[in-house]
Structure 1
Amino acid sequence: MDRPLVMRPRAAADLPALVDLVGEQQPQSRYPYRWPLPFPVEDFLVRPGEIETWVAEDDEGLLGHVSLTRADVDEHAAAWSQGTGRPAGELAVVSVLVVASRARRRGIGRALIGEAVARSRALDLQPVLDVVPVNDAALAMYRGLGWVELSRARASWQPGDAPDLVLMTLPG
């Protein structure tokens, strides 16, 4: 790797490569849980209520993605609000965290989450997230970074056999 890891805002031109990245990493991460998606992958990546989005890249191309979205447009807003004691308008959802399989275990997921959390804090927003507890490594990473479970919930998009989502926040 000649160029160090670069974090930058996602551009529209990144979407085709990100669509490929989501499909490539899904069998290993099981994210998104519902696969294939019943809608275009671009709609999974580009969310309503986006505050900011980032990609990680090096000289070999895109390695990962994360979004920060408004919680007040999310179906779990009330649960996060109750768990954090803050109104939904003061919460930001860390979402759509994907890392290319070839880039796993290099700290890229942590770096992307760090970027989203730092921006959330700069905006005086409490970071929250949800995770389907089928990827033990992802759940362990969140917990290792200090995220705590607030509650569990069902999502409207979840198939009947899916485990409840773990709703989390990062205190501080």
Structure 2
Amino acid sequence: MPLVIRPRTDADLPALGAVLVEQQAASGYPHREPLPMSPEDFVAREGTLATWTALLDDEPVGHIAVLPVLDPAVSREPDLSRLWMAGHGLPAERLAEIGVYFTATRVRGQGIGAALMRTALDHVAALGLAPCLDVIPTGSAVELYRRTGWREVGSTRPAWLEADAPDVVAMVLPAAS
């Protein structure tokens, strides 16, 4: 059965929570162990602009979300907001964060993550927003983002970051010229 990417439903949450936990050892994401909430609550963030589930054979195997970037005055992570705003030269309300992005370990290398990212980026563009993300610089994620056009705009140490983790890298995807 072909890959299907569709809006996430609440019925997807148990399977996506299991996928999140399963892939954590290989990817290092999320960067907190144990999570301060259930895996399902981690996936089902409040305030998202949009969320999608990737399915193979009707089984959830990946997820991505688009979240608003809040003005630093009200953001729980004001330094990230400031870095993204400076990186794009835009106010927070013109930005969107790509997050809660993961795929099952067993489907890596099949283009599922890339398809999820395309879906999210298309949505961000349709909203007239500029994309941002943050990443812990472990493994190959930063290099993958660089190869696909993302640009580093700084690093910061969010309150949720564990003491032994490196600073979070803030990245933006410049508009195509």
TM-score w.r.t. the length of structure 2 is 0.92
| Cα displacement (A) at 1:135 | 2.1
Q: Secondary structure at the match of 2:49?
A: strand
Matched, 1:164 2:173: no
Q: Secondary structure at the match of 1:168?
A: strand
Partners of 2:24 and 2:30 within 8 A in 1 = yes
Partners of 1:52 and 1:68 within 8 A in 2 = yes
Partners of 2:96 and 2:132 within 8 A in 1 = yes
Q: Secondary structure at the match of 1:8?
A: strand
The 2-side partners of 1:74 and 1:151 are apart by 18
Q: Which residue of 2 aligns with 1:101?
A: 105
Runs of 4+ aligned residues of structure 1 deviating over 6 Å after TM superposition are none
Structure 1 residues 13 and 95: alpha-carbon distance in aligned structure 2, compared to 1, 3 A threshold: same
Partners of 2:137 and 2:168 within 8 A in 1 = yes
| Cα displacement (A) at 1:153 | 0.7
The 2-side partners of 1:64 and 1:98 are apart by 5
Q: Which residue of 2 aligns with 1:133?
A: 137
Q: Secondary structure at the match of 1:124?
A: coil
Which is worse superposed, 57-66 or 20-29?
57-66
Q: Which residue of 1 aligns with 2:119?
A: 115
Structure 1 residues 65 and 41: alpha-carbon distance in aligned structure 2, compared to 1, 3 A threshold: same
Partners of 1:48 and 1:69 within 8 A in 2 = no
TM-score w.r.t. the length of structure 1 is 0.94
Q: Give the counterpart letter for 2:164 in structure 1.
A: D
Q: Which residue of 1 aligns with 2:94?
A: 90
Q: Secondary structure at the match of 1:50?
A: coil
Which is worse superposed, 35-44 or 87-96?
35-44
Q: Give the counterpart letter for 1:68 in structure 2.
A: V
Identity rate, percent: 44
Listed as ranges, the matches of 1:56-71 within 5 Å are 56-59=54-57, 61-71=59-69
Matched positions, count: 169
Q: Give the counterpart letter for 2:145 in structure 1.
A: Y
| Cα displacement (A) at 1:141 | 1.9
1:116-170 CA distances to partner (integer Å, 9 max, x unpaired)?
111001100000000011122x222211211110111111101111100010011
In structure 1, runs of 5+ residues without a counterpart are: none
Over aligned residue pairs, what C-alpha RMSD do you find?
1.2
Q: Which residue of 1 aligns with 2:46?
A: 48
Q: Give the counterpart letter for 1:111 in structure 2.
A: A
